Structure 1
Amino acid sequence: MFETPRRSTPLIRWLLLLAAGAFQAASLAWPLATPDALHFLGLTRGQPVWWLQLVSMAVLVALLTRCRTAREAAWGGWLFTLAWLSLTFAWLFVSMHTYGGLPAPLAVLAVLALAGALALYYAAVSWMFWHLGLINKGLSDLVFASLWLLAELARGQWLTGFGWGAVGYAQLDGPLQAWLPWVGLYGVSWLAAWLAAVLVTLLGGTRAKHKGATVLLVLVVVGLPLVWPASAGLDRGKLSVTLLQGNIAQEEKFEPATGVLKALRWYGAQLQASQSELIITPETAIAVLPQQLPEGYWQALQQRFASGQQAALVGLPLGGLSEGYTNSVVGFAPGQTTPWRYDKHHLVPFGEFIPPMFRWFIDMMHIPLGDFNRGGLPQPSFDWQGQRLATSICFENLFSEEMATQFVDASTAPTILVNLSNLGWFGEHLAMDQHLHIARTRALEFDRPFLLATNTGQTAIVSRQGQVLQALAPHTAAALHGTVQGRSGITPYAAWVSRFGQWPLWLLAMGIVLGAAWRRWSSPRF
């Protein structure tokens, strides 16, 4: 793997690493409209491109092995990740500049600063790979994959975590997708990193017999979950649903005389008119507290669902000055003494809580921010018509280990997953597609259908196989009517992550890295 000559100059290497990082970002959701003739390559706007992710990461591995020093490798890993992450969530620029009023240069710097800070994880593991991957060519692929996994886990869990754009999401619709109900997103990220490193090995100076053995191993790894699929659950009845997409302009959403009034009228009319068994609004569809609503509005909602065969999940803020505020979902159903309630647990930094020492940054923007109270974990599901609906808000569907806390007991595990979001903060960018791919991944991990109700898109019904069954056109005010099939049973991933979190993957990766480190420092050549 390390026999290729190191002739590339640092400048060329840095440019190649930036380009490879950009293509890795593109692999998560292809950003361009392409001719139909290229769709067989998976190059469809908004869709993941699994092979492009592998090629991009293989370029990273190959260039890291050409670095002359560990310091060069660290810089290379940092540059690759800076390009990958800054382009992956470039839509943050829209929320900070267009809607937050932050000057454009500062908004660009803020996106780059976030990506650059998160890239430090990958710089550290690139430095370690340069040292540890040189000992044993057979182990170097495992070492790279394990170090990459440690960086992904750290980014996704430390300091509240922001694992948006993890490489495993690019593997949707690819050969590694079948591993999701076994090892989850991060396990698939490990496999993707391993395959990328193996690709470099196969293209290097490895002997023919070793190449044959490696190809056979790859075929076994890719084919194993197809031959031995995860245990299947059971269908648990059907539920008719209506998902509402009000398309309230973000610049008006919190304005009482415009966006708030429009939302109250539109969502109120839809909640009254829909005939589905369950009606779901987006996050903060009602953007004011119940006590601030027009007289009789809240009571009319409760009365609407006090009897009959219909229920509703409505997103709105709750609380008061004395007890604090929450970003919540209220469930109305017949026979209730008090409405069901879910309070958002995983809050958005800068949007729903202000990190220490960052008040100055918040003061530069004009976004309705606040320090919300955090909901507990886990919280009871919304039980209706024989289904148990597990609710999440906004980017909470990113944290599968938190969603998994409701799967400890198979007899009470959710049968349907639901997410209420407002992606209007991010304009026309790929955040909608990326958010949809996150939901598709959770559906596959837990073998559950997933309902997405959003303000501007993507509002969709996702099957337990991770396929989009129905979806509304983005940036339209419409109601999506459909039927969802509930599901019971526990996948292998849900079984272990609900009890141990991501610790089995942490320990596996650290075990491989520590083993490589022991060989490194016990080697006579050291």
Structure 2
Amino acid sequence: MPAPKNPLLPAVRWALAVLAGAVMVLSFAPFGWFPAALASVTAFYLLLPRGRRGGFATGWFYGLGLLGFGVFWIRISLNEFGNMPAVAANALMLLLVAALALFYALAGWLVTRLRPGEDAPRWWVGPLLVLPGVWVLLEWVRSWLFTGFPWLFAGNGQINPLPLLGAPLAGWAPVVGVHGLSLAVALSAGLVVVALRRGGGARPAALAGLLAIWLVGALLARVEWTRPADGPLSAAVLQGNVEQSLKWAPDGVLPTLEIYLDLTREVLADSDVIVWPETAIPSFLHEVEAGLLPPLTADAVAAGAEIVIGVPIMEMAERYFNGLISVGSAADRYYKRHLVPFGEFLPFDRQLRPLIDWFDVPMSSFSRGEAERPLLQVGPYRVGVSICYEDVFPEEVRQALPEAAYLINVSNDAWFGDSLAPHQHLEFARLRALENGRPLVRATNTGISAIIDHRGRVTASLPLFERGVLTGTIQPRTGRTPFAAVGSLPALLLAAAMLVAALLLGRSRNTAA
């Protein structure tokens, strides 16, 4: 039965595309309604015009909906902490959203160009091969182009269980990672499109395929890919809740240190590892090292504890790093390798600095760390570490495996206030724990701090804007998940193979004609 023509006027289609993109946001934290991603990608495909024109615009409006509602919080850091006027901050945020939406515009254009017509014998190539292949490969490009912005991928929200439903696709994460989860979402959406647009035998076949993807995911979730090592360890996370506008004030160093030292004393005797957040010390290490580290190290050794601290570290004039140090029975350092553009460094500094000299973010000229792998010695354990934004890059986090017994992420999400950002960022940390089969300790300045088990489940957390100490237990683990061993390569190769197959099927159709 041929599919009906799509009679939507362009303006109506674009408005619905914005709505479809916004629906995707509901799949991410703090909402966690994972079926929203399936509905969103399905709507993306159904809203594309039947001909070869209009796909670019429809995809762009979809991207505006997704990113406009999903990352509007960027304006908070620009306006409230970057001294940018509100009008300029909003304009720059909208410009960024419009630019990132071009990825979805390109997706719309490619799908409309590569898929066969709806009345063609191989009509199924569009939803089942072109859509998932294009979607995943463009998400992958977005993860590294111009240093990358791997935020709000279709697979990110698939680890949030719902009552009765659970999180059926989450079991794929340790096998194929977040790109594989996105592939599962996009392929599931294609199967829904087939079920909606075709009757006869196509509909039950599509529904059976959909059930198979989700059922296999549920079965994979039962597999223990890694195994316990020694331990368990008692972990303590310090959340100082130091207001961002006061943190970098000249007279703020001593009060901030007192906060974290007091919190440390509360749990020192009962903790194996204590984690301070990113740049918990709002001063260069060499300026406080003599008075801070020797007594703190002595106390840690006496108590049998290890302490991990976020602090800026200057090696020489004009060269400083966003760093982590460990003190206790072992001393080690890690320098952040993946910096945030405009927040930690200014791209094309020489050209842009005179134009935006009023943009004044503290510590915004960090140098890039050059460690081959993100590992820090914490007492007897090698630990996989990430600082803030680094934990949104799955390939970088997995580089710590298999040596890492557990993971640590330190962050300062105060830049984004009481918005969706801290919830979304915690979700990324959970996904990294699940992908790599390792527990993760997450310390943030103002929240959300958390202790996460090797299945990506939050076992304890501190809410936003609350000062306190979070305590819990982590189990060091050994071994590697399939994702930790080979990364995203299988998912990306499968996506590429889908597009190659679509092109070959299209060519054979044209040759036969």
Q: Check whether TM > 0.5.
A: yes
1:82 lines up with 2:64 in the alignment: yes
How far 1:184 sits from its partner (Å)? 0.5
Q: Distance in 1 between matches of 2:285 and 2:97?
A: 38
For residue 517 of structure 1, what is the amino acid of its counterpart? Answer: L
SS of the aligned residue for 1:305 comes to helix
TM-score (normalised: structure 2): 0.91
How far 1:381 sits from its partner (Å)? 3.1
Q: Which residue pairs with 2:23 in the alignment?
A: 23
Equivalent position to 2:481, from 491, 494, 512: 491
Q: Do the aligned partners of residues 9 and 479 (structure 1) sit closer, same or farther apart at CA in structure 2, a change above 3 Å counting?
A: same
For residue 239 of structure 2, what is the amino acid of its counterpart? Answer: Q
For residue 271 of structure 1, what is the amino acid of its counterpart? Answer: T
How far 1:195 sits from its partner (Å)? 1.1
Q: Which residue pairs with 2:89 in the alignment?
A: 107
Equivalent position to 2:260, from 261, 267, 279: 267
Q: Which runs of 5+ in 2 are unaligned?
A: 162-166
Q: Distance in 2 between matches of 1:2 and 1:402?
A: 47
Q: Do the aligned partners of residues 379 and 523 (structure 1) sit closer, same or farther apart at CA in structure 2, a change above 3 Å counting?
A: closer
Q: Distance in 2 between matches of 1:463 and 1:223?
A: 23
Listed as ranges, the matches of 1:30-41 within 5 Å are none
Q: Which residue pairs with 1:315 in the alignment?
A: 310
Q: Distance in 2 between matches of 1:180 and 1:504?
A: 12
Q: Which residue pairs with 1:69 in the alignment?
A: 52
Q: Which residue pairs with 1:277 in the alignment?
A: 272
Q: Distance in 1 between matches of 2:83 and 2:50?
A: 42
Q: Distance in 1 between matches of 2:179 and 2:352?
A: 30
Query: Is the CA contact (8 Å cut-off) linking 2:384 and 2:408 kept in structure 1?
Result: yes
1:169 lines up with 2:156 in the alignment: yes
Equivalent position to 2:43, from 45, 53, 59: 59
Q: Which residue pairs with 2:74 in the alignment?
A: 92
Q: Distance in 2 between matches of 1:508 and 1:126?
A: 20
How far 1:77 sits from its partner (Å)? 0.5
Query: Is the CA contact (8 Å cut-off) linking 1:423 and 1:432 kept in structure 2?
Result: yes
Q: Distance in 2 between matches of 1:468 and 1:288?
A: 31
Q: Which residue pairs with 1:147 in the alignment?
A: 134
For residue 334 of structure 2, what is the amino acid of its counterpart? Answer: Y
Q: Distance in 1 between matches of 2:417 and 2:83?
A: 14
Q: Do the aligned partners of residues 83 and 361 (structure 1) sit closer, same or farther apart at CA in structure 2, a change above 3 Å counting?
A: farther
Q: Do the aligned partners of residues 294 and 149 (structure 1) sit closer, same or farther apart at CA in structure 2, a change above 3 Å counting?
A: closer
How far 1:230 sits from its partner (Å)? 4.3
How far 1:389 sits from its partner (Å)? 1.8
SS of the aligned residue for 1:137 comes to coil
Listed as ranges, the matches of 1:326-341 within 5 Å are 326-334=321-329, 336=330, 339-341=331-333
Query: Is the CA contact (8 Å cut-off) linking 1:239 and 1:385 kept in structure 2?
Result: no
1:519 lines up with 2:513 in the alignment: no
Q: Which moves more between the two structures, 320-329 or 390-399? A: 320-329
SS of the aligned residue for 1:452 comes to strand
Q: Distance in 2 between matches of 1:185 and 1:126?
A: 21
Query: Can you list the C-alpha shifts for 1:299-326, whole angstroms capped at 9, x where unaligned?
Result: 3323333444111000000014437100
Q: Which residue pairs with 1:394 in the alignment?
A: 388
Q: Do the aligned partners of residues 370 and 187 (structure 1) sit closer, same or farther apart at CA in structure 2, a change above 3 Å counting?
A: same
Equivalent position to 2:206, from 214, 236, 247: 214
Q: Do the aligned partners of residues 361 and 67 (structure 1) sit closer, same or farther apart at CA in structure 2, a change above 3 Å counting?
A: farther
How far 1:386 sits from its partner (Å)? 4.8
Q: Distance in 2 between matches of 1:363 and 1:522?
A: 58
Q: Distance in 1 between matches of 2:298 and 2:305?
A: 12
Q: Which residue pairs with 2:31 in the alignment?
A: 47
Q: Do the aligned partners of residues 146 and 361 (structure 1) sit closer, same or farther apart at CA in structure 2, a change above 3 Å counting?
A: farther
Query: Is the CA contact (8 Å cut-off) linking 1:350 and 1:362 kept in structure 2?
Result: no
SS of the aligned residue for 1:363 comes to coil
For residue 372 of structure 2, what is the amino acid of its counterpart? Answer: P
Q: Distance in 2 between matches of 1:148 and 1:447?
A: 26
Q: Which residue pairs with 2:294 in the alignment?
A: 299
Q: Distance in 1 between matches of 2:352 and 2:424?
A: 27
Q: Which residue pairs with 1:36 in the alignment?
A: none
Q: Do the aligned partners of residues 361 and 58 (structure 1) sit closer, same or farther apart at CA in structure 2, a change above 3 Å counting?
A: farther
Q: Distance in 1 between matches of 2:151 and 2:320?
A: 26
SS of the aligned residue for 2:317 comes to coil
Q: Distance in 1 between matches of 2:195 and 2:429?
A: 34
1:505 lines up with 2:491 in the alignment: yes
RMSD of aligned alpha carbons: 2.1
Query: Is the CA contact (8 Å cut-off) linking 2:374 and 2:386 kept in structure 1?
Result: no
Q: Which runs of 5+ in 1 are unaligned?
A: 30-45
Query: Is the CA contact (8 Å cut-off) linking 1:181 and 1:230 kept in structure 2?
Result: no
Query: Is the CA contact (8 Å cut-off) linking 2:235 and 2:274 kept in structure 1?
Result: yes
Percent identical across equivalent pairs? 33
How far 1:521 sits from its partner (Å)? 4.5
Query: Is the CA contact (8 Å cut-off) linking 2:171 and 2:219 kept in structure 1?
Result: no
Q: Distance in 2 between matches of 1:26 and 1:329?
A: 34
Query: Can you list the C-alpha shifts for 1:161-213, whole angstroms capped at 9, x where unaligned?
Result: 11111111121223211111111101110110111122122111x13211111
Q: Do the aligned partners of residues 241 and 440 (structure 1) sit closer, same or farther apart at CA in structure 2, a change above 3 Å counting?
A: same
How far 1:385 sits from its partner (Å)? 5.7
For residue 510 of structure 2, what is the amino acid of its counterpart? Answer: P
Q: Which moves more between the two structures, 449-458 or 167-176? A: 167-176
1:226 lines up with 2:221 in the alignment: no
SS of the aligned residue for 1:256 comes to coil
Q: Distance in 1 between matches of 2:363 and 2:306?
A: 30
